[in-house]
Structure formats: structure tokens, C-alpha cells
Amino acid sequence: MTTLYNPLINGFHPDPSVVRVGDEWFLATSTFEYLPGIPIHRSTDFETWELIGHVATRPGQLAVEEVPTAGGAWAPTIRHRDGVFHLVITDAMGRGMLHFTATDAAGPWSDGDLILKQDGSASLDGIDPDIAWGDDGTVYITFSGLILSGEGVGQHLGIQQVRVDLDTHRALEEPRSLWSGTGGQFPEAPHLYAVNGRWYLMIAEGGTERGHGISIARGDAPDGPFETAPQNPLVSARSTIRPIQNTGHGDLVVGPDDEWLCVLLGVRPRSMTRAFSALGRESFVTTVRWEDDGWPAIDPVLLNARPGTRVDIDFAETRTLDGEWIAVRATPVSLTDLDARADAVVLHGDGRTLDHPRPVFLGRRQEHLTNDVTVRIDAGAGVGGLAVRYDERFHVEVEVGGDRVTARAVVADLVQEWSVPAGDGVIDLHIASRKPEASAGFPRTSDVFHLGATIAGEWVEIAQVDGRFLSSETAESFTGRVIGVYAVTGDVALLSWHAEGDDD
């Protein structure tokens, strides 16, 4: 029997889409302004998932270099047809709505073709595209009609659809409005499915926060008309005490043993009122049952965390960067120097701090609610350190420069620093995310950061910072925590990385 772990994919992995090919499953998620973009995970049992590659690994595939924070790669749909993987996505405030293809989900993927309006003048204006093929081979692109540019920016036109010629990537008609849910805000994440001779249109509505949910309708053709399911929303955690909240933005798939499953996003909030989600939106899964009346029923999303993990990397032994390393609006390889030293990855600072939209920063997603990271760095020829980043306005760090180590918390326009003396040369820096102590029986935040360094052979805690300031609710971010090493000036050499965590 399949064990369904939740989260399915830990850490910042929102907007999951999944496809089955034979006895394998391939899952894609959003990456926004981070590169490489759009990770692809593969599983043979729906329990263990392996990161096998990314869609966007080359300059030009996504134009995220100058997108505003929260722009970039939004909400992919991955499908497979006639030996080819297809992935459609919106590069929000970047290139526009794109169609990528590959014969191997691990890559390489195509450069990405713009899905154009009928007159060919520009990309279709919308987000969260879905791709489906009718019985006659007609290609349908169904999307959420949020206008991202021009005079109508911010206006939402509901769920829309066009037929598209994939040879020219041009719409064959003006967008048509489809069923847009039961009245919840921000109808989005549409997916079309042909099941037992009927077409089902599943969407998210209610916003991607606490009101999030999934609704469905059905019809006799991929372009409708659609009738609304009587039991909508199919799934939502709104107004419940469930430990996984914001459940929505789902995709259906036939899983192991021909059991239907729904992958979807959610968050794991903590605090007295469960107000702060430290890790942002993660990928989850739940079971689906088809009722006698032909409607699906989606079970509540249950927490079932995996065992803790540990990652140890010694760069004197490992001379490559694995696929878990990501960077902000730049590829990791463009920011790192593996040739300068035989025992380290070197970052060359150019004056940009973590307040800059494009910092010299190399990171990995925080995967666990309780988490410890220690890095050994040599910043004798520069200024830099270890940081946890949500975006350029929300980050905490431990920075070494000259003969001092400084802990810093940046919360929007508020900055606080603590500093202690330290020697020159190689130093171990530490950031730990720990459960908060309960006050009057209730924790008042998501977690607490412990910022420190090993100085003269002793672990020194420099500061504690309330973790709520780096949560999706405070930062109002679509991403999640990313922990990494950065350089401000000169050369900062990362010699080793140690991270371990669990979800107790």
C-alpha cells in the first residue's frame, strides 16, 4: 500500500502539477524569481521523489533577471503526449505565457515558445495556463484571466480558454470565458480532464491564503458548457483546525494501484492562532474518490511528515553543485567560482547586499520547521556570510567582515544588528530555526532564529530573532525561506555546508 507523505515535497515548492507516464510520475512546481527555474521531480511509487532536473537552466528561457519580486515562473502545468513532455507556464512580468517541450523530463527542455494572441501581437495575457487535447487533437489552453500589464493591469476576467495552433503557437480565436467557480475570489489554476466520456474543469478559488479551495464542474466537451458540482468546494481547510492550511491549486492524477490522487499546495502555520507559515507554500497530496453520480470527492489533506534529513557537503571532495542550489534572478553557475580554490566554492562580491534584488547569493530551500545550518567560510578577503532570505526586504544573516561577526535582521524598513569580535580567516557560522517557547501555554510565533558563530573554538549565540518576520504572511511572499551563503565585497569561500532538520 502506498504511504502518502505530507508534505509531498518539503519547502518552497508551490503550485504542483503532475503527470503519469507509464509507471512513473513527474511533478513540476513554481520558482518565481529563482533560477534554475521549474524543478522536475520524479517518482516510481509516489512516496520517494527525486529531483531530476529543471526546465529553465539557460539564459533566455525565463526573463526573470529584471522581474519584480513575486514575478517570474508562475504555476506550471505538465503533460505528456506522443512521447513528448509539454509544460505551459506564465513568466509573469517577464516573457509571458510559454510552452516548453522535452522528450526527457530531466531535460534539456526547449527555449520556450510564446503562446500568442490571435493577431500574433503579443503573448496571451493571463496566468496558470493548462494544456489539453480534445478527442480530435485540438489543443486547448485554459487559463486564469488576470491581466498583468497595460491599462487593465490587475483586472481579473475569470477562467478563459482559447484553441491554439502549436505549430505557430498562435491562438485561433479570441479568449472565451468559461465557468469560473462558485463566487470565490481569484479563480485560477484551471485543469481540464477527460474521464469516462465527460470533461471536468477543476479550478482553485478563494485566493491562495486561508480562503483557498478547489472547485469543479463538468460538461460534454472541453469548451463546455459546464455544470457546477453540488459539493463544491471539493477541498478547503478554511475555518478548520487542520494543521495544513491554504489547501488548493490542485492537479488530479491516477496514482499507484490505479488510485486517484490530487496534488495541491498548502502551508504549515504555527503560533497561537496559527498565523505564520515559515516555509511558505509546499506541495501536498490527498486521495480522490469517484462517487456513483460521476463527481469526484477529495479527502482532507492530512499531515504525515517524513523523517528528518541531513545534508553534508565538503567542497574539497565535491567539485560540482547539485540541483538543489538556487540563486536569485541568476543561475548558480554564473555566481560561483569552482576554479579559484580546490577546497571551496568562491563567491565574488561586487558591493550588492542582500537588500539588492540580485544579490550574490547561493542557497537551498529550508525544508523543515526545525532546522540547523552550519557553514564553514573563509571571508578573510571579503565581507559575506550565511543568510535566510524571503526577499530583498525580509532576511536575517550572520555576516563576517574584518575582525567582527554581525548578526542582522532586516524586516521591511526596520534593521537591527548585533556584533561581536572575531578573528580573521576561516570561521563557522550558524543559523538555527527552533520551536518557540510557549507563553501562557501557547506559542506566539512560528519559530525563533538563533544566530551564532564558533569563535575561538566555542559556539557563541549572537542574537535571537522572531521567526514570524520571515513567514509568508509577514513578507506576503509567494516563495519561501531559502538559506544560503552570500558575498558583499571581495571573495567569500564556502568550504563546507551542514544542514539537518525535522518537523517535530
Active site residue 258: no
Do 2 and 45 meet the contact criterion of CB atoms below 8 Å apart? yes
- The dihedral region occupied by 251, where left means phi > 0, alpha psi between -120 and 50, and beta the remainder, is beta
Q: Which of 15, 282, 447, 466 is catalytic?
A: 15
Q: Which one-letter amino acid corresponds to residue 412?
A: A
DSSP 210-278: TT-EEEEEEESSTT---EEPTT--SEE-TTS--SSEEEEEEEEEE-GGG-EEEEEEEE--BTTTT-B-T
Q: Which of 91, 125, 130, 188 is catalytic?
A: 188
Residue 237 Cα to chain centre, angstroms: 20
How many angstroms separate the CA atoms of 95 and 389, rounded? Answer: 25
> What's the Cα-to-Cα distance from 389 to each of 245, 298, 334, 431, rounded to whole Å?
22, 34, 19, 12
How many angstroms separate the CA atoms of 447 and 449, rounded? Answer: 7
How many angstroms separate the CA atoms of 253 and 52, rounded? Answer: 20
How many angstroms separate the CA atoms of 470 and 456, rounded? Answer: 30
Active site residue 111: no
3-state secondary structure of 349: strand
How many angstroms separate the CA atoms of 135 and 218, rounded? Answer: 16
How many angstroms separate the CA atoms of 86 and 105, rounded? Answer: 9
How many angstroms separate the CA atoms of 353 and 487, rounded? Answer: 8
How many angstroms separate the CA atoms of 201 and 218, rounded? Answer: 6
How many angstroms separate the CA atoms of 417 and 406, rounded? Answer: 7
Active site residues: 15, 188
